[in-house]
Amino acid sequence: MDAWYEYRLVWSQHPWVALVFVLAVACVVAGLVGTFLANLLAIVFIPGLLIAYGHHLIVTRKYG
């Protein structure tokens, strides 16, 4: 199973799924930066992980 191929295939067929991925990455990065800078952005880390998991579920459902 080539996961990268699955992601790219689903992203090409459903561009909005790629936007979900970008949102997840942005939230996780903002959460990590917020953790080290001790500001309120740290609270978006867990929702970012949830969005990333939701993205993974979307991709597996659309691919399979």
Domain hosting residue 21, numbered range: 3-63
The predicted model gives 36-61 an average pLDDT of: 91
What is the Cα–Cα distance from 11 to 17, expressed in whole angstroms?
A: 6
What is the Cα–Cα distance from 16 to 20, expressed in whole angstroms?
A: 7
Number of domains, the chain? 1
Taking 90 as the threshold, does the pLDDT of residue 38 lie above it? no
What is the Cα–Cα distance from 59 to 64, expressed in whole angstroms?
A: 8
What is the Cα–Cα distance from 29 to 37, expressed in whole angstroms?
A: 12
pTM assigned to the model: 0.85
| pLDDT tens digits along 2-35 | 888 889 999 999 999 999 999 999 999 999 999 8
